[in-house]
Structures are given as C-alpha cells and as structure tokens.
Structure 1
Amino acid sequence: MEAAYSLSKPLTPPPPPTESPSPEPPEEGCFSAKATVQLEDGSFKLIKDVGIKDKVLAVDKRGKQLFSEIVLLMDVVPDYVGEFVAIEAGGRHLHLTPAHLLFIAGSDSSSFDPVSIFAGQVKKGQYVHVVEPVNGGVEKVRIERVCRVQDHGAYAPLTEEGTIVVDNILASCYAVFSNPKVAHWSLAPFRWLHSMNKTLEYFINASLNLGQDPKCGIAWYPSILYQIAEVLYIV
C-alpha cells in the first residue's frame, strides 16, 4: 500500500549548492528506516537490516546495473526522528534527508548523464533514474511530487560503487558535499583497507577490525573526514 504524504508543509528553498560542507549535521545525510534495497539473490531487505558484505543493487558510471558490496555503514541512528524529503516518481516513493545527494537525470535523453544535487533542492518536474531489476533498465522518470514529511530512522550504507538503488530510485551513497566524486575519492583509503581485509580473510582466515558496523552513530572514518572538512571550511 502506498504511503500517504502530507503536503501541509511546503518545501522551503535550500541554499545554493557548494563544495563546502552543509550546515546540517552529518547524521542527517541518510535514508529512512523503511527504505528497501535489493540483494544479489533477488530478494529485498529493509535498509536498516543490511550489513557489511551484503551486495545491493547499484548503477555504475555508464548507467549499467550491478550488485555492489556494502563496505561501511557510515551512519546508523535507529531512534532518529526528523524531517525527510519525500519524493514520488512513477509510483515510487523515496524518503531521504535534505543533505543527502540524489541523482537528477540530465537533459540529454540519449545518454546517462546524472547530476547530483541535495535532496532538499529537488523540485517537481525534474527527472530521477528509476531502476527496473526485471528488465535491467535504467529509466528517466518525472518527479510528480516533492514534500517534507516526518519519518524515523537514519541509515547510510556505503557501497564500493558509491551509488545505491533505494526503493527502485538511484541515489548516491554520499551526503553533505555536493560533489560525490570528491566524497568517493576521500573514502578510497577505506575501500582499500576493506579490500585488504578480504584478502586477509581469504588467505589466513583473519581480519582487521575496521569499525565498519557501528551499532549507533557515525562510523569513525567519515567522522574524521567531516571534522577535517569543517576545519577547512572555517579557514
């Protein structure tokens, strides 16, 4: 059954995008607890239940579907209650916090050229990428409704690809920074550590504790990045 969204609170204009950190707390760059992702075996799982090494549906830079491994749970806040952006497109519904990045389809309908913007800047009439696992297609679908709603839970898994399909809509794994390429590059050392961990597990049945699965709160590696970014932003 589709959720009923209240339009009683209008969408307030956000500040223009910037390479600097958003003034909103890092914990607010997440999906709601009821969001779903698709696993490699074809089943669906609530995003609050996914874990490290789960492979979830994502899209690569060429617009091709793939299943990308979750390498880090960047933020886990089960008791979070707050404002989310509710996006409706082609019968799909997605709730994500205003500082999270969403891919908007570009003007060229013949190519895959997504533009990343904050969810708080999304407007009715723009186009998102809807992923259809059955036919393997990635379609551009017009956004029919955008509003603010109250929802609960805040979860931000990171895939190796840096993208994730949530409730059949393509989104970035990143938040706070307007450029996902910068965020992806900054997390490259952690992805390398994760890769080395898999090698250790394969050859000597041992692994390092990388703090990938926090029970609550922001993981240590993105926390350090946010602190550095805040210092640079102040300077």
Structure 2
Amino acid sequence: MYSKTNIFYIILIGVIILFNIDSAPSYYGSYHDDHHHQHYDRDHGAYSYSPHGTAQCFSGDSLIKLSNGVYKEIGNLQSGDEIITIDQSKIISTEMIMMLDKEISKEALFYTLRTDSGNEISLTEYHLIPIINPNGNENYLFAKQIKIGDYLLVLFNEKLNYSPVINITIEMKKGYYAPLTMKGTLLINNVLASCFANINNHHLAQYYMAPFRYYYQFGRFISLYDPFNINKTEGLYWTVNIMLYLARYFRLDALCL
C-alpha cells in the first residue's frame, strides 16, 4: 500500500531543500573552512578531500539505551523506539526513524574511542561525533580527527559528563548500522554521536533529513509503524543513495567521500 511511489515525495521535498541553498543553516566549527567546507586534517595541518567512499555507521556491537532504561543492540532497533540522547546539555528521548545504512555481515574499519569514564564508541572514519572545544561549545568532527585528550559527551551514572579520550584504536569489525533519529543524535554505549557521516556539517545534514522526518511523522499519524521497512532493507537506503548522488553535483562542498 505504501510503496516506493509514496516515498517519491521524500525525494521531491529533498530536491527542493537541496536547491534552497540560501536558507540552509551554516554552522562551522574551528576545524572547518567557512568558505570551502573542506575536511581539515589535524595530523598534517591541511585541508583535503577523501577520494573514496566509506561506510557511514556504528559497529554492530554497539548498545543503545532506550528511554525505559533497557539497552538494545543497535541491530535490533525498531522504527518508533524511544531512545536516549542529549540536546543542549539536557538528557531527552528521541524516536528512532530508520536505518540510513545497514550491513549485517560485511566488515568495515572502525575508529574505537575510549574515554576516561570507561565508555567506548566505534565509528567509521568519516562519521561525525561532537567534542567540547576550549570555549565550552560542541564542535562536530569526523572520527578520524579525534585526538587523545579531546572531550566527548558521555552519560555516566545517569548524569551528563565530559570525559577525555584516553585511547584510540583502529580495527576491523563485522556489521555496521546507521540509525536516524528525530533529533539527529543518539547515545552509542552512552557516548553522544551524530547520526550522520560523509558530510562535514552535522546541522546541515539534519536540515536535509527533514523529508524523512516528515514522512515518518505522517506514517505514524496514519498508523504506519514502519514506513521505511527497516527490517527488510539492507545496504544504503535507496532514497539516501539518490540524495547523495544529487549532492555530488549540487553540494559537493558539503560532502567528504
């Protein structure tokens, strides 16, 4: 009943947003070029583009805390699950919408960040994660940009804390998932992370995902509890693939592929 024809409207709205460049938000931290939006390599002190596409996800062994206090493996998340996240220094709940990308059996290279609080999070290299910069503000960086001593936001003993990264390992892991939530963020093993990868601006990505949020809310309104069929879909979700294809032509400056 609700086939790909209905999801066509996601693409339509997405294209409208894509061309509405002047109204798109522009938030850039100290590690991004305000003019070119390029990737800043803190190892070499230079801006560069990555020529290859990468996975866009968290590792399959990640745990997600639901608003009822129960932990769920990331691969078992369902559309409509109420999960915990952090918004403006407050612990809140947000709804799981869909999986932007999902691979159960494939392997990927992950950056595993361990904090002084004992929390760990594994992300692919171009997945965004916020740190607290010296001014006390959030600044979203790619996982590969994180350095020892950078402060991550963690949930520790049911309270929000800032904890420094004390160890970084790069390892292959099997299975990866990219959940999309209403807020665009979520807690992975009680560490705050963005839902987005391969784009150099978290806020811009959240803006472009508006069609998915609208379609999800409409589906829930008419009692369609899994409008994106997340249990049947594996790989990069097809509408996301189309949006990335369009972005390569019209907003390449915002991508890191």
TM-score range, shorter chain: 0.7 to 0.9
Deviation of 1:149 (Å): 1.1
Deviation of 1:224 (Å): 1.6
Structure 1, unmatched stretches of 5+, are 1-11
| Residue correspondences, number | 210
SS of residue matched to 1:94: strand
Match of 1:8 in 2: none
Deviation of 1:211 (Å): 4.5
Match of 1:224 in 2: 242
1:211–1:219 contact (8 Å) kept in structure 2: no
Task: Report the CA distance shift for 1:57/1:16 in structure 2 as closer, same or farther (over 3 A).
Answer: farther
Deviation of 1:85 (Å): 0.2
SS of residue matched to 2:207: helix
User: Aligned to 1:88, which of 110, 114, 128?
Assistant: 114
User: Aligned to 1:173, which of 180, 187, 195?
Assistant: 195
SS of residue matched to 1:79: strand
RMSD between aligned alpha carbons?
2.3
TM-score, normalised with respect to structure 2: 0.75
User: Identity, % of aligned pairs?
Assistant: 25
2:111–2:169 contact (8 Å) kept in structure 1: yes
**Amino acid in the other structure paired with 1:82:** A
**Amino acid in the other structure paired with 1:221:** T
Deviation of 1:106 (Å): 1.9
Deviation of 1:42 (Å): 0.6
Q: Measure, in 2, the Cα distance between the counterparts of 1:219 and 1:17.
A: 30
Task: Report the CA distance shift for 1:65/1:209 in structure 2 as closer, same or farther (over 3 A).
Answer: closer
Task: Report the CA distance shift for 1:56/1:17 in structure 2 as closer, same or farther (over 3 A).
Answer: farther
1:80-128 C-alpha deviation (Å, 9 max, x unpaired): 212100101021111110010011112134xxx2100000111111111
TM-score, normalised with respect to structure 1: 0.82
Deviation of 1:212 (Å): 4.5
- The aligned runs of 1:117-156 (5 Å cut-off) are 117-132=141-156, 134-135=157-158, 137-156=159-178
SS of residue matched to 2:58: coil
Q: Measure, in 2, the Cα distance between the counterparts of 1:199 and 1:150.
A: 41
Match of 1:161 in 2: 183
Match of 1:25 in 2: 53
SS of residue matched to 1:53: coil
Task: Report the CA distance shift for 1:51/1:89 in structure 2 as closer, same or farther (over 3 A).
Answer: same
1:129–1:139 contact (8 Å) kept in structure 2: yes
**Amino acid in the other structure paired with 1:119:** A
